[in-house]
Structure 1
Amino acid sequence: EIEALSDKTELGLDKRIIKNIILSKKKIKGKKIFRIKESTKPLIVVRLDVAESLLRRSFKGIKLERLQVEEI
């Protein structure tokens, strides 16, 4: 579990709901899989190579969504 969100991430009015996730490359440091600490919901992030591996194995019950990564 890491604090991975960029300052450019869009949050709701109460600062607990994430509207648009933008990850900070500096904060994630190349990790392959992690949970976003700032989220109240369990949001698990996986790197593209891990996602491709999961898709080859026909896992059920997962939803994959492409996220932005801030390059700073």
Structure 2
Amino acid sequence: MTPMKAVVVHGAGDVRIDERPRPEPARDEVLLAMEWGGICGSDVAYWRKGASGTAALAHPLVLGHEVAGRVAALAPG
């Protein structure tokens, strides 16, 4: 199984491109291959301050949402 790359914030000022295991879709799910994604103000706050509002980083966090992509795998169902 080929690993995937993710933009991960590990703490204030610490953003890395990490390899993560490729997830397997469970029943009634699909796996999307992301082609475009957005970074919003809360993602920037996690990177700059290690927190967004009252939510502080306790563990590394994959950034980005509002994605567009293609179906890469289908699970049964």
Larger radius of gyration between Structure 1 and Structure 2? 2
Structure with greater helix share of residues: 1
Which structure is richer in relative contact order (CA contacts within 8 A, separation 6 or more)? 2
Compute the TM-score of the two structures, normalised by the length of structure 1.
0.23
Structure with more strand by fraction: 2
Taking structure 2 as the reference length, what is the TM-score of the superposition?
A: 0.22
